[in-house]
Amino acid sequence: MTTQAAPQVRDSAFDRLYSEVQQFYARHMQLLDAGAADAWGATFTADGSFDVPTLPEPVHGRENLVAMMRRTAAELAAAGDQRRHWHGMLDVQPQPDGTVLVRCYALVFSTLEGGEPRLHRTCVCTDVLVREEGGLRVRSRRVTRDDLR
């Protein structure tokens, strides 16, 4: 991350964007946790990429993303594991080329049926969001886990 204190942006375009990014992630993560693979896949660009340390290599392309999520959702459902993904502390940085860089924190909670809720992961997520057909989509995502360095 840049460690200089950036000038704070106050124009109303930034406010609109900030709320829009929050709403985007809310829906995006609720789709993920609901196992709605196709609708979740539609929140990535067609060539969207996902790079996370639990995968042997980055996943590229919406079809591969949907397939990956479908597998994971099936495994979690079989295990009775309800995951909840929280994004927070969003540092939203509009770029000159119209894309939006977001660096934020992510929490993953896990609850087994009849069990105690558990903090599963704390991560940092860096996304490049782009606008397509009026809405935001993830073009690339890189996740780091705080336990793996």
Chain residues binding its own copies by CB under 8 A are 1, 3-10, 12, 14-16, 18-20, 22-27, 29-31, 34, 36, 38-39, 42-43, 82, 84-92, 103-105, 107, 109, 111-122, 134-136, 146-149
Quote the CA–CA distance of 139 and 74 in Å, as a whole number. 25
State the minimum distance, in angstroms, from the CB of residue 109 to its own copies: 5
Single-letter amino acid code for the residue at 126: T
Smallest distance, Å, CB 51 to its own copies? 19
- What lies within 8 Å, CB to CB, of 10 at 6+ separation is none
Pick 46 or 112: Cβ nearer its own copies: 112
Token pair 């995502």 is at which residue?
A: 141
**Which tokens in the block code for residue 138?**
């993830």
What are the start-end ranges of the H helices in 34-102?
37-41, 62-79
C-alpha–C-alpha distance, residues 137 and 147, integer Å: 28
Position of tokens 């929280």? 86
Q: How far apart are CA 69 and CA 65, in angstroms?
A: 6
Q: How far is the CB of 55 from its own copies (least distance, A)?
A: 19
Residue pair 35/73 in contact (Cβ under 8 Å)? The answer is yes
